[in-house]
Amino acid sequence: MISARTAGAVRVAGTSVPAGYPSPAQDYFDGTLDLNEHLIKDKTSTFIVRVSGDSMEGAGISSGDELIVDRAAEPRHGSVVIAIVDGELTVKRLHLSPRGVMLMSENPAYPPLRIGESELSIWGVAQVCLHRV
């Protein structure tokens, strides 16, 4: 039976794994890591959204990835945000300047979205990208 306390707990290897040359395997683990505590700052304001499209690939966010989004986090210049523009959801990088607000793609095939007359609402700030390998 899985308790609420251990539902997000995953064993942690006691050593780092080199990405270069192989090293001798270690057959032991060094405790556990609760993924909820590690990935989520505030459960009450956090949700997960699945990305579709390729406009954020330059930021390492691909179609099918899932973003852990915190609605309580303050959107700042450079934040990756989930925004609602004229009633449509989008994931973009927030660009704040004296000339105004823009939502920037991380793919040169997509132009910046200038927010002028458009209605903009920031739904939350992306904190973590879950990307399958």
The contacts found for 86-92 with CB under 8 angstroms, 24 or more apart, are: 86/118, 86/119, 87/119, 89/49, 89/123, 91/49, 91/51, 91/55, 91/56, 91/61, 91/67, 91/126, 92/55, 92/56
Catalytic residues: 55, 92
Distance, C-alpha 76 to centroid of its chain: 15
